[in-house]
Chains A and B, each alone.
Chain A
């Protein structure tokens, strides 16, 4: 089987084609956004294996759900919502796997982490889940508070308060206060 390069698909990355069910167009769009998918997953999850799973499952879910994308302009937030949902799914499953409440830290430490020298990511990773997800979306690119509220299906006020809380904690962790 020919192992095709996805570079060629980038030329075909048209959202409208994707919405019409053009499989290759969807894949091309996903490929264009793979760094975005990775960034969000990297901010929210600690384990490299979990990040891999989320990235792969995002492809599958995006293909399945492309029909639910209402307008072309929402493609990026639509895709990020899928990523966040997949991350939340993994977080929920990981929680269920923890045998005892007091073992959370030990479990987290056992995850593969090849990024030991990365300060901000480590700081974000140490935040509580809701703050971690919100601040990741905020720092990952230029997502507005409104976009984040839509993705997380919470109010803009809640986004702002989570951001404030997360910002304060990160400042403390990075020794900026």
Chain B
């Protein structure tokens, strides 16, 4: 190396150090976060994602949760990968643990059967929709072990909806969603065959003191196949940060915007709005068609 190069390199090394010596705050914050999460392993009892509600729509709700840090720390098992997009970090676990797996709650033990009449001792994602009581009537089991028939479950959902009315708006007209939120709502133009809009939800801003809701969720269902998908739109303010976890995450692209694509959901940001499309019933290919039709 000649002297000129030597001098140039010294200058560049000093310059490189100067330009990269301070880690931007948001990067530093997320880095600290992952250290804390990793540190928490081994000395914590790993909890499971809180399970609630058992209909197709509420299954989607559970997956919708964007968890705050402390909650995420409790459920994280073996994170092998993470991807970030505008304040949202998505983790992937090494073990694709069944997030719905749990022992039959004590109050329901011995009282719940599968279609062949065998006692069900563990509930998981495979059997949770196919549980029956001693009379062969289809039932659901909540976390407290209360056994509910379909009718009782519907009543409970309706009761929850009424109790939530103070904080949550139930919107039944798809053309009126825009009235309740503080950003432009763009919805999919492509809806897979058999699916239709069923309802939407948003913050009841009049009760919460906000000018308008900063998010909304839109439900679509296929009544014949019992399939459903859910689209959540959230205003991205650049401050909010959240975490969630999906299976098989990878980088992708939706209409020119960076996206995180997984088996569970497609997430991307366009025009200050984060779109989270939950596609468990649709699959990736059909999910992408729906996502790309949102313009």
Which residues of A are interface residues toward B (Cβ below 8 A)?
1, 3-4, 6, 9, 23-24, 27, 30-31, 34-35, 38-39, 42-43, 47-49, 51-53, 55-57, 59-60, 63-64, 90, 93-94, 97, 99, 110, 114-115, 118-121, 124, 136, 138-142, 167, 170-171, 176
Contacts and interface: CB of A to CB of B under 8 A. Distances in A.
Contacts of B81: 57, 60
A99 B253 CA distance: 10
Nearest to B69: A3
Contacts of A141: 13
B98 to A, nearest CB: 22
Nearest to A140: B16
B82 A60 contact: yes
B38 interface: yes
Interface string B96-112: 00000000000000000
B80 interface: yes
Interface of B: 5, 8-9, 12-13, 15-17, 19-21, 23-24, 26-28, 30-32, 34-36, 38-42, 44, 69-70, 73-74, 79-86, 89, 250-253, 256, 258
B24 A114 contact: yes
A57 B82 contact: yes
Contacts of B39: 4, 6, 9, 23-24, 27
A139 B23 contact: no
B33 to A, nearest CB: 8
Contacts of B253: 97, 99
Contact of B30 (A56, A64, A139): A56
A125 B232 CA distance: 36
Given A1-B70, A23-B42, A60-B81, A38 B16 contact: no
B20 A42 contact: yes
A60 B80 contact: yes
A139 B16 contact: yes
Given A27-B35, A27-B38, A43-B20, A170 B12 contact: yes
16 contacts: A3-B70, A9-B39, A24-B39, A31-B35, A34-B31, A47-B258, A49-B85, A49-B258, A59-B38, A60-B34, A60-B81, A118-B19, A119-B15, A139-B12, A140-B20, A170-B12
